[in-house]
């Protein structure tokens, strides 16, 4: 299987790269792996009041504040894109507590409400699958040949890891 033939029953997975992990951090990139195999990724232009920046976060994702300012879409444009693509869906993330706050920050700045529900990826896995998740994620990253830590790459990797674990489960129901 490669990234273009992920089964239609694949979960919708979202990942957010942010300015840091502090109380005033905000999203700088949002990536989504859709069930049909498509991936979306967009930079988010920081709002004027979004000033927190952590160099350690930049080192991890490789996105400078200047790049986000120059090439990012407005909070409203990103929120509208997410609502258009994700409306009515349950969307999964491996970092629910962080991603929920960052999406709330995005949607508040946009003056919109999300039209999708965010859940933790663990909701899709049983206990044995959860304990094997880190290994499955590493294998998926190698299989997809991910070389950069970016939101859409992370979302695609997480999606493939979940699919592999569910396909290999003895009682998996697809």
Contact, 154 vs 31, CB < 8 A? yes
Q: Average pLDDT, stretch 18-25?
A: 92
pLDDT score at 150? 87
Confidence check: pLDDT of 145 > 80: yes
Q: Average pLDDT, stretch 64-72?
A: 97
In angstroms, the CA 134 to CA 144 distance is 15
Residue 113, domain member (yes or no): yes
pLDDT score at 149? 77
pTM for the predicted model, two decimal places: 0.89
pLDDT score at 32? 98
Confidence check: pLDDT of 171 > 70: no
Confidence check: pLDDT of 71 > 70: yes
Contacts with 42 (C-beta within 8 Å, 6 or more apart), sequence order: 29, 30, 31, 72, 73, 78, 81
Residue 4, domain member (yes or no): no
pLDDT score at 3? 42
Domain count, the chain: 1
CATH code of the domain covering residue 75: 3.30.420.10
Residue 5, domain member (yes or no): no
Residue 160, domain member (yes or no): yes
Residue 161, domain member (yes or no): yes
Domain that holds residue 30: 12-166
């Amino acid at each position: 299987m490669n990234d273009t033939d992920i089964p239609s029953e694949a979960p919708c997975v979202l990942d957010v790269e942010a300015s840091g992990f502090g109380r005033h951090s905000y999203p700088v990139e949002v990536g989504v792996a859709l069930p049909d195999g498509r991936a979306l990724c967009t930079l988010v232009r920081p709002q004027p009041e979004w000033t927190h920046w952590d160099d350690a976060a930049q080192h991890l994702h490789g996105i400078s504040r200047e790049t986000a300012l120059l090439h990012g879409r407005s909070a409203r444009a990103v929120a509208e894109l997410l609502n258009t693509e994700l409306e009515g869906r349950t969307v999964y993330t491996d970092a629910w507590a962080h991603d929920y706050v960052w999406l709330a920050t995005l949607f508040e700045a946009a003056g919109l409400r999300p039209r999708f529900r965010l859940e933790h990826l663990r909701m899709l896995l049983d206990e044995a699958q959860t304990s094997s998740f880190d290994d499955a994620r590493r294998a998926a990253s190698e299989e997809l040949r991910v070389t950069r830590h970016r939101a859409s790459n992370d979302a695609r990797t997480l999606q493939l890891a979940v699919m592999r674990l569910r396909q290999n489960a003895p009682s998996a129901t697809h």
